[in-house]
């Protein structure tokens, strides 16, 4: 049944709302998307949870109003409301969950809480109508690094995930070491493009495990790499001279691990589609290297940066699919920092 969903995302430091058209099987079009980023966190070199929550409280009403106005609809035109229920910062999530729940209850609308990472999986469907399972999904962000086998929507098998720092977190921490500010990913990619390859040959963590049997084959770990960059930075007697080479060495190490493990998984599963999502998927060097690696036999799908960073449109896309299957959340839904990934096995 056709309808319109208002989706809300407040898992971290972006306040976002979107309106989507829905069809009988899921999302049918994006009508509007508003994202308000919180610049204050750059001063602290990372997100401050209390400040994030307060900023969401101040802005969520106006962000939702702008999304509705941009879509040319009112509250009476909505058929459902969806929110990010987790994982994320509990205080930040609470703002979006309570706002969306209250609005849905007052209007008598179906209400659904969505897993943030499932939203990242669905993001590319808003721009690529040909994108569908089966595929290997690499989800890389500031809080997560996950490699998934996706034979069907709603059925996910965990191939591997990070044991410590997520890839995005490692980018942020190394950027801080190099004096590049926050967020670190875009700054490192830009600087690395001017660095000399091979001057700093940092370790490729857990890459050798791919050639061994066992559950570690597709696991990730970036804390040791971060420490190696820290030592190299401290050993430099001219950081201004070495900064670009350090950034290049670090990025090359991270990307080689991500690319090789993702490509190997797709090869072994005999899939011809690889999907990359999350904030680190905005790294064009990552996408270019992955496309080169799988070019003979698979295509790489990634949403544009606006839909790869945290946003409400991806939440609405995942919600549209689940709402079409008759799923609803109860009024007792509470946000969870450690929310289980629905349909995830392994």
Q: Which CATH number do you get for residue 178?
A: 3.30.420.40
Rg of the chain over all Cα atoms, to the nearest angstrom? 20
Under the banding of pLDDT at 50, 70 and 90, the label for residue 346 is confident
Residues 77-94, mean pLDDT to the nearest whole number: 97
Q: What is the pLDDT of residues 168-198, one digit of tens each?
A: 999 999 999 999 988 899 999 999 999 999 9
Asked whether residue 312 is assigned to any structural domain, the reply reads yes
Q: How far are the Cα atoms of 111, 206, 221, 290, 293 from residue 260, in angstroms, in the given order? A: 40, 11, 14, 8, 8
Asked whether residue 97 is assigned to any structural domain, the reply reads yes
For residues 227 and 339, membership in a common domain is answered with no
Asked whether residue 127 is assigned to any structural domain, the reply reads no
For residues 106 and 170, membership in a common domain is answered with no
Asked whether residue 111 is assigned to any structural domain, the reply reads yes
For residues 193 and 256, membership in a common domain is answered with yes
φ, ψ at 308 (rounded to 5°):
-90, -35
Residues 6+ apart with CB under 8 A from 2: 21, 22, 23, 24, 28
For residues 298 and 163, membership in a common domain is answered with yes
Separation CA 4–CA 270 (nearest Å):
37
Under the banding of pLDDT at 50, 70 and 90, the label for residue 267 is very high
pLDDT computed for residue 254 by the predictor:
98
For residues 312 and 296, membership in a common domain is answered with no
| Other CB atoms within 10 Å distance of the CB of residue 346 | 12
Asked whether residue 269 is assigned to any structural domain, the reply reads yes
Under the banding of pLDDT at 50, 70 and 90, the label for residue 26 is confident
Asked whether residue 331 is assigned to any structural domain, the reply reads yes
Asked whether residue 260 is assigned to any structural domain, the reply reads yes
Contact 212, 204 (CB under 8 A): no
Q: What is the pLDDT of residues 142-160, one digit of tens each?
A: 889 999 999 999 999 999 9
What would the 3-class secondary structure string for the chain be?
CCEEEEEEECCCCEEEEEEEEECCCCEEEEEEEEEEECHHHHHHCCCCHHHHHHHHHHHHHHHHHHHHHHHCCCHHHCCEEEEEEECCCHHHHHHHHHHHHHHHHHHCCCEEEEEHHHHHHHHHHHCCCCCCCCEEEEEECCCCEEEEEEEECCEEEEEEEECCCCHHHHHHHHHHHCCCCCCHHHHHHHHHCCCCCCCCCCCCCCCHHHHCCCCCCCCECCHHHHHHHHHHHHHCCCHHHHHHHHHHHHHHHHHHHHHHHHHHHHHHHCCCEEEEECHHHHCHHHHHHHHHHHCCCCEEEECCHHHHCCCHHHHHHHHHHHHHCCCCCCCCCCCCCCCCCCCEEC
219-246 burial: b if 16+ Cβ within 10 Å, else e: bbbbeebbebbeebbeeeeeeeebbbbb
Count of residues for the chain?
A: 346
Q: How far are the Cα atoms of 181, 204, 221 from residue 44, in angstroms, in the given order? A: 9, 30, 25
φ, ψ at 230 (rounded to 5°):
-60, -45
Contact 100, 111 (CB under 8 A): yes
For residues 113 and 157, membership in a common domain is answered with no
Q: What is the mean pLDDT of the chain?
A: 94
Structural domain of residue 15, as residue ranges?
3-122+308-345
Separation CA 143–CA 170 (nearest Å):
10
pLDDT at 43 over 70: no
For residues 257 and 331, membership in a common domain is answered with no
For residues 16 and 45, membership in a common domain is answered with yes
pTM of the model: 0.94
Task: Point out the domain boundary residue: 287, 302, 317.
Answer: 302
How many domains are contained in the chain? 2
Q: What is the pLDDT of residues 226-261, one digit of tens each?
A: 999 999 999 999 999 999 999 999 999 999 999 999
Sheet holding 111-115, edge to edge: 27-37, 14-22, 3-9, 80-86, 111-115
pLDDT computed for residue 247 by the predictor:
98
For residues 191 and 323, membership in a common domain is answered with no
For residues 137 and 234, membership in a common domain is answered with yes
pLDDT at 24 over 80: no
φ, ψ at 93 (rounded to 5°):
-60, -40
For residues 298 and 314, membership in a common domain is answered with no
Separation CA 114–CA 52 (nearest Å):
20
Q: Could you tell me what percent of the chain has a pLDDT over 70?
A: 99
Contact 172, 182 (CB under 8 A): yes
Contact 191, 243 (CB under 8 A): yes
For residues 195 and 274, membership in a common domain is answered with yes
Contact 228, 165 (CB under 8 A): no
């Amino acid at each position: 049944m056709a309808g319109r969903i208002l989706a809300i995302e407040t898992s971290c430091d972006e306040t976002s709302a979107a309106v989507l058209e829905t069809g009988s099987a899921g999302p049918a079009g994006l009508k509007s998307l508003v994202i308000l980023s919180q610049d204050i966190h750059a001063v602290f070199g990372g997100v401050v949870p209390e400040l994030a929550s307060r900023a969401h409280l101040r802005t969520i009403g106006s962000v939702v109003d702008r999304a509705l106005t941009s879509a040319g609809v009112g509250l009476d035109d909505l058929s459902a409301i969806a929110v990010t229920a987790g994982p994320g910062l509990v205080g930040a999530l609470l703002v979006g969950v309570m706002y969306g729940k209250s609005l849905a209850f007052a209007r008598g609308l179906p209400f659904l809480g969505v897993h943030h990472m499932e939203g990242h999986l669905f993001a590319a469907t808003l721009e690529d109508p040909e994108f569908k399972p089966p595929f290997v999904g690499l989800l890389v962000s500031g809080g997560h690094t996950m490699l998934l086998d996706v034979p069907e929507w709603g059925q996910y098998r965990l191939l591997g995930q990070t044991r410590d720092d997520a890839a995005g977190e490692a980018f942020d921490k190394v950027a801080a070491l190099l004096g590049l500010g926050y967020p670190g990913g875009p700054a490192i990619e830009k600087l690395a493009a001017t660095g000399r390859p091979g001057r700093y040959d940092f370790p490729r963590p857990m890459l050798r495990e791919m050639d061994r049997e066992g559950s570690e084959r597709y696991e990730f770990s970036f804390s040791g790499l971060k420490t190696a960059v820290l030592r190299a930075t401290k050993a430099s007697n001219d950081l201004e001279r070495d900064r670009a080479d350090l950034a290049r060495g670090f990025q090359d190490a991270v990307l080689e691990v991500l690319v090789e493990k993702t490509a190997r998984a797709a090869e072994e599963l005999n899939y011809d589609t690889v999907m990359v999502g999350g904030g680190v998927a905005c790294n064009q060097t990552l996408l270019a290297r992955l496309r080169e690696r799988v070019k003979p036999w698979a295509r790489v799908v990634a949403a544009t940066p606006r839909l790869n960073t945290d946003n409400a449109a991806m939440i609405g896309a995942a919600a549209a699919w689940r709402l079409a299957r008759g799923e609803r959340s109860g009024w007792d839904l509470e946000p969870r920092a450690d929310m289980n990934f629905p349909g995830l096995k392994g």
